Amino acid sequence: MAKFRKLGEDAAVLDIFKMSPAAGAPLLLLHEAIMRGPSPLSEGERELISAYVCGIAGGRYCHGVHAETAKAYDDIPGEAVDAMLGDLESAGFPPKILPILRMAGKLTEDPASFSEADARDVYDAGWDEQALHDAIMVVCCFNFMSRLLEGHGVEGPSVDGPNADGPNADGRRALFEERGRRLKEDGYLPLLRLLEPGGGAAAE
């Protein structure tokens, strides 16, 4: 439930950004740089990390959108994405990505527990220091976003009644899928124009 009257029950990310456009625009640029800029990690792998972080952090809207975004990429196994919050180790991911996801979990739940040994596990799996750095940037970005949305009470758009769950969960999932596909195809920069006066309704 939205905690701000001006946001309403069906608020999305851009509704929050419109409350402070001067901060919202740089945040979108940061997202584009972290999630779509050059990296040893594919775009799909970065979306996977973001979905995992949001799920662990309790970011319901963020997890819903970014899980579907990750699943839209050919290099990400969709069934594993659906299973990862239950048991990461048996979800079905390729062994190479698991040390990155373990790091993301530790850095989200108990940052000080991420050790040199954990970093070595990432390197031993075939990643370099740039990949680890880029993964940490994703973790930080989406810990921020999870808390931003939960703090404002943004859980996801309703389909039939406020914040549809239960019998309406399929409708919410369909919206997350649609927004995930759009994010995969267009990235984050097109959202900047929606911060401009008269820019239209939030779509992410």
Structural domain harbouring 187: 45-195
Please report whether residue 38 resides in a domain.
Answer: no
Distinct helix (H) and strand (E) counts, the chain: 9, 0
- Residue 139 token pair: 């973790």
Mean pLDDT along residues 57-82? 95
Give the chain's domain count: 1
Backbone angles phi, psi at 120, to 5 degrees: -65, -35
**8 A C-beta contact, residue 44 and residue 70:** yes
Mind giving me the DSSP string for 69-138? HHHTSTTS-HHHHHHTTT-TTTS---GGGHHHHHHHHHHHH-GGG--HHHHHHHHHTT--HHHHHHHHHH
Ranges 61-70, 173-182, 186-195, most confident: 61-70
Please report whether residue 10 resides in a domain.
Answer: no
Is residue 143's pLDDT more than 90?
Answer: yes
Average pLDDT for the chain: 88
Please report whether residue 57 resides in a domain.
Answer: yes
**8 A C-beta contact, residue 127 and residue 40:** yes
Mean pLDDT along residues 182-188? 93
| Residues 87-128: tens digit of each pLDDT | 999 999 999 999 999 999 999 999 999 999 999 999 999 999
Query: CB-based burial of residue 204 (10 Å sphere; 0-12 exposed, 13-18 middle, 19+ buried)?
Result: buried
Q: Given pLDDT bands bounded at 50, 70 and 90, which one contains residue 135?
A: very high
Count of CB atoms situated within 10 Å of the CB of 170: 9
Please report whether residue 159 resides in a domain.
Answer: yes
CATH number of residue 105's parent domain: 1.20.1290.10
Q: Given pLDDT bands bounded at 50, 70 and 90, which one contains residue 3?
A: confident
Please report whether residue 99 resides in a domain.
Answer: yes
Is residue 168's pLDDT more than 50?
Answer: no
pTM over 0.75: yes
Output DSSP code: residue 20.
S
Cα separation, 18 vs 94, whole angstroms: 39
CA distances from 168 to 158, 165, 186 (A): 8, 5, 27
Q: Determine the pLDDT at residue 157.
A: 52
